[in-house]
Amino acid sequence: MHIMDSERTYIAHSHSVEDTQRLAASLVRYVQAQDVVLLDGDLGAGKTHFVQGIAHAMGIHDEVTSPTFTILLSYPGIDHNGASLTLNHFDLYRLDDPADLDDIGYWETLEGPGVSFIEWGHKFASCLPFDYLDISIDVIGEDDRVFTICACGDRARRLLAAWAQDEEARLTPSTSKNVR
Amino acid sequence: MNQNSTRDIVVSFDTANEYIALGIGTLDASTHTITCLDTVEVAAHRASNTKLLPTLDACLKRNAIEHDRIACVVCGRGPGSFTGVRICIATAKGMASALEVPLIGVSTLDAIAWYLWNNNTRGQALVLADAMRHEVYPVSYRLTDEGITRLDTDIVRGVQDEADHLAEGSSLIIAGDALKKYGELFAPFGTFAPDTLWMPHGEGLLLAAQAAWRDGTADPFDTLRHDPAFLLPIYTRLSDAEEHERTRLAQPSPRDLRSGVQLQGTHQDACADSEQLIFRPLSASSGDSVAALETELMGSDAWNQQMICDELPRKDRTWWAAYDGSSQHLIAYAGGWIVDGQMQLLKIACVPAWRRQGIARTLLGRIASDARDLGASTMTLEVRRSNEGARAFYTALGCEFQGYRPGYYSDGEDAAIMSGPLPVDDHDVAGMELLFDCGGEQGAEDPHRPLVLAIESSCDETAAAIIDGDGDLLSDTVASQIDFHARFGGVVPEIASRKHIEAICGVTQVCLERAAARLKRSSLRWRDLDAVAVTYTPGLVGALVVGVAFAKAAAWACEIPVIGVNHLEGHLFANKIAQPGIEPPLVASLVSGGHTMLVYVREWGSYEVLGSTLDDAVGEAFDKVAKALGLGYPGGPIISQLAAQGNPKAIHFPRAMMHSGDYSFSLSGLKTAVISYIHQTEQKGEDLCLPDIAASFQAAVIDVQVSKAAHAIEQTHVNEFCLGGGVAANPALRAAYERMCKSRGVRLTLPPVSACTDNAAMIALVGLDRYRQQRYASLDLDAQAHCDLSDPY
C-alpha cells in the first residue's frame, strides 16, 4: 500500500460547470494509457461534469452520463496528439461488494490501453489502483467548487507535475499540509 | 461430415493475455511430430471472444482445411487474465465436444518458453506474465538443445517480491508481457529476449503439445483420456470473495462486514444439504471445537487451538469443516497445504458417530478444489502404518504407497506416505445438483426438425435444453450453483464463471443423452442438431461469456447456425409453456434478482419496456432484507415463508413511487427503511418479530408491483397479463395478481414455478422462433451485460 504523497498538493477553483470542464480539458494534454484518476466528492459536486470535460477534450461526442447502474462505460476517444485513447468512466457508488468488480474486468480495464476516471474510487481499499491522481471536489457555494489534487505513485506524480505547469489549469500549490 | 476422411490436423489457440495466438499443424502418429502449417497473432484487448473464432475460421479456410480433418484441439490454460483464459477454454470445450475429438491443455507460459526455444534461445530463462494488480506469474526454465525443462510450478507473486529474489546478472534470459510494465525493475537481473517473443505464439503452443505427446502426458488421438469436460484453467488464486472470506474467518470473532448489520443468534450462512450437513471454510471461531476433537481423536499428536488458528490466515492453506445442520456442532474438518504444485493433506478428522457417510470424501473434495485453484495437481499425505481402513480409502482415491517414514508419530508408529492425483469431485457437473425434466415418452424415430439446443449461463445456473420442430422440449437440464454462493449472501461473479466452465460440458452432454432417450435413440450427437441458441445478454459478463464462447464454437464445429437470445425475451416466452395459446398484445411483469420491469408485448419480438427499477431489483431487495435479518440466502423463499406467518399490516414501510404516474420502480428506499427499523427496534431493546417484518416488507413490494401492473393494463387496453423471472414464484405475489386480474377480466398466465427461474427451455423457445425467421448471430457474437429489451436484435 502506498502512502499518500503529502509533499505536493494542488488546489484549483471553479465557479461554474464551464470552469470545471476547462480544468478537465487541460488535464487531457498530459494523460496517457493506464493513467487512473480518482474523483471524490458529494453527490452533485461535479464529478460527472469533470469527466464530461475530459470526454469533450478527447473528441468524444457521445453523451457522457454517470455509469451509476452499469458501473463502467467506455468510449473510444483520442489523446492530445490525435492518437486513439479509450476513456473509461467508472462509478462505484452503487457497488456493494468489491468482488463484483471482477465481473466487469476492473483490473483488466485499468491496466489496458485507456485512461480511467473512477467516481467514488476510495469506496473500497482493495480497489485502489497502485498509481493514481487523486481529485477531491468540495462544494463551497452554489456554483463554487474547490478541487484538491494530489498524486499517489511515480507516474501520477509526473502527471501532476506536468499538469501543474499548465497555465490554463491554474493549479496552485496548497499552503496547508495535505489533510486527507 | 465425411466419416472416412483422415483426421490429421491439430488446431491450437491461446487468449490468456488479451492477445490471440493461433497455430494449426499436422500430426504424424509414427514419429509423434507436429508440423506447423500456419500461425496467426492478433492483439485483442478485451475482444478475444469476438475475434477468436473468425480468426480461426479464416486461417483454416486459407489453408483449405475442412472441419472433419481436425483430430485434436489444443488450448492454453493460462495462467493469465481469468476471463481471457475462460474464453479460450470455453471455446476449446465447445469445439472439441462437437467435433468429438480430444482436448489437450498446455500451459500458456510453457508455450512462451517453447517459442523462445524455437527462436534459438538457450540457457536459463524466466517467463514473467503480467497478472495485473502489481503481480506476475513467474516460471523459470532451462532451455537446452533437447528442449525446455520447467523448474517451477505456477504461482502468482508480487512484482517487487519477484525482483527481490532474483540475483543481479546478465545471463538469465527474461521474456513475458510483464516486461512492458516493469521493464526497468527487472533490467538488472538478466537480458531481455526480443519483445516479439514475449507473447504466446502458435508455434510455441504446438511445440508444447508435441512435447506432451512425446513424453506420454498427452495423446492427440485419445478421445477418452482427453475428454473436453476434464480440462480446467490454471488460476493460481481463489476468487477475491473467497480470499476476503478466508481473511475474515481467520479473525477470532467474524463479523459480517458486508451488510453492516449483525444480529444475535445463529447466522445461517450456508444452506444445509439434504442430510442436514453444512460445509463451509473453517473459521477461527471453531478453533476450540477443532482443538477438542483433535485431543479426542489424535492423542499426543493433537494440534492445539493456537496451532489451528495460526493456519487459517495463511494464503497457501485451505481448511474446510462440516457442521451438523440442526445443532451447528462441528463434526469434521480437513486442511491442506499447497506447496510446489502439490497439496499436502495436513489434517482430516470426523466425529465417530458421523463416519461412513462420505463426509470425509466431501471435505477432501472441497480442499482439493481450492488446492487446484491455487495451482496444485497432486496430493501427498501421511497415514498411520496400521490404519488399514484409511489406507484403503486413499488407495480408492487413486493414491499409491510411496514408502514409510519411520517413527513419525509421537508414539513411535511409522507413517505410510501416499501420493496421487488431487481428489477433486470429478463429476461432470462439478458437484452441483443436476435437475432435469424431459416430460413424457416420445416414440418417434425421426425427430421433427429443427432440433435446437439452447444454453443459458447468465447468472448462477448452467442450463441446457433441446427443443424440436413441434416446439416440444426433448430435455431440459439445469446445474444450480446456489450452494456455492449461499455463504456469501449472493452470487459471486468470479465463482459463477468458474462453475460454468466446470459444468458446461457435463450439462450439455446430459441434455443430449436425455433427449436421445426421449427420442428412443441410442445417442444424439452435436452433429444431429440444426442450431445452437445461447443467452448473450443481459447478465454477468464473465458468466455469459462461457456459454457464448462454448455455443459459438460448437455451432462452428458442426457448421450450423448460432442464435443469440436475450434472456429477458426468454422469460416472456416461458409463458408459452403454461399457456401455448397466449398471444400478444399483452403486458408482462419481469421480476428477478437482476430485473424489475413492466413490458408491453406488441407482438412476439416487438417489445416496449414501459418502466423499470431505478435502483435495486425486487429479488435483490429480498436478498438484502433476508441478509439484514440474518436469514441466509437466497432471500426470496425464506422471506415468503416467514411472511406467510406474519401480519402484513404490522409495520408500515414506504411504497416508493406508488403514485408517480409512470412505470418506474425504486426499492432501495424500502430496503433502507427495513434496515433502519431493525436498528431502531434493537436500540430500544425490543424483540424483532421476524414474520411481521417479512410480511410487511413483502406487502410493500407487492402493493407497488400490482398497482403499476394494473395501471399498465388499463393504459394499454390489453386482455392478457403474464409474469416472468424468479420472483414470479412468490405465492403472495401470484395471489395478488390473480385477484387484480380477476377483478379486471384480464386473463392471467403464470409460468410453472420451475420455468420462472433461469432455465434453458425458455431460451430454446426463443431460439426456435428465431431459427424459423433465420435470424442468426455471427461468429463475433459477444456477451453483453446490459441490453434494452425494446431494441430489436
Q: Which of B133, B492, B615 sits opposite A99 (nearest CB)?
A: B492
Instruction: Tell me the pLDDT tens digit for each residue of B33-92.
Output: 999 999 999 998 888 999 999 999 999 999 999 999 999 999 999 999 999 999 999 999
Q: What is the pLDDT of residues B172-205, one digit of tens each?
A: 999 999 999 899 999 999 999 999 999 999 999 9
Q: What is the predicted pLDDT for the residue at B428?
A: 47
For residues A4-15, give the mean pLDDT: 79
A43: which chain B residues are within 8 Å (Cβ-Cβ)?
A: none
- Return the pLDDT at B242: 87
Contact B59, B202 (CB under 8 A): no
Helix, strand, coil tally for chain B in percent (to 5) = 40, 25, 40
**CA of B489: which chain A residue's CA is closest?**
A97
Domains of chain A and any CATH numbers? 17-136 (3.40.50.300)
- Grid coordinates of B250: 481467520
Q: What is the DSSP string of B750-775?
A: ---HHHHSS-SHHHHHHHHHHHHTT-
Give the tens place of pLDDT for each residue, A94-110: 787 787 787 778 888 89
How far from chain centre, in Å, is Cα B33?
36
CA angle B157, B202, B147 (to 5 degrees): 70
CB-closest option in A94, A107, A109 to B133:
A107
**Confidence at residue B438, expressed as pLDDT on a 0 to 100 scale:** 54
pLDDT tens-digit readout, B521-543: 999 999 999 999 999 999 999 99
Could you report the predicted ipTM of this complex, rounded to two decimals?
Answer: 0.74
Average pLDDT over residues A13-27: 95
Q: Choosing among A102, A123, A127, A128, which should be mutated to test the B contact, i.e. which has the most B CBs within 10 A?
A: A102
Q: What is the pLDDT of residue B258?
A: 37
DSSP B252: S
**According to the model, what pLDDT value does residue A7 have?**
63
> Cβ contacts (< 8 Å) between B83 and chain A: which residues?
105, 108
Q: Which parts of chain B have pLDDT scores under 70?
A: 1-5, 252-275, 425-434, 436-445
* Domains parsed from chain B with CATH numbers: 9-126+169-230 (3.30.420.40), 240-374 (3.40.630.30), 433-571 (3.30.420.40), 576-756 (3.30.420.40)
Contact criterion met (CB below 8 Å) for B141 and B125: yes
Say how far apart CA B122 and CA B108 lie, in whole Å.
Answer: 19
Q: Identify the contact set of chain B against chain A, taking CB-CB distances under 8 A.
A: 18, 45-46, 81-83, 130, 132-134, 181, 239-241, 244, 258, 488, 490, 492-494, 497, 540-543, 615, 785-786
Cell for B319? 481448511
Q: At what angle do helices B240-249 and B493-518 cross, to 10 degrees?
A: 120
Residue A130 to residue B132, Cβ atoms within 8 A? no
Residue B257: predicted pLDDT: 36
Sort out which chain B residues have CB atoms less than 8 A from A111's CB and list them.
130, 132, 181
pTM: 0.87
Q: What is the pLDDT of residue B357?
A: 86
Q: What pLDDT is stored for residue B300 in this prediction?
A: 84
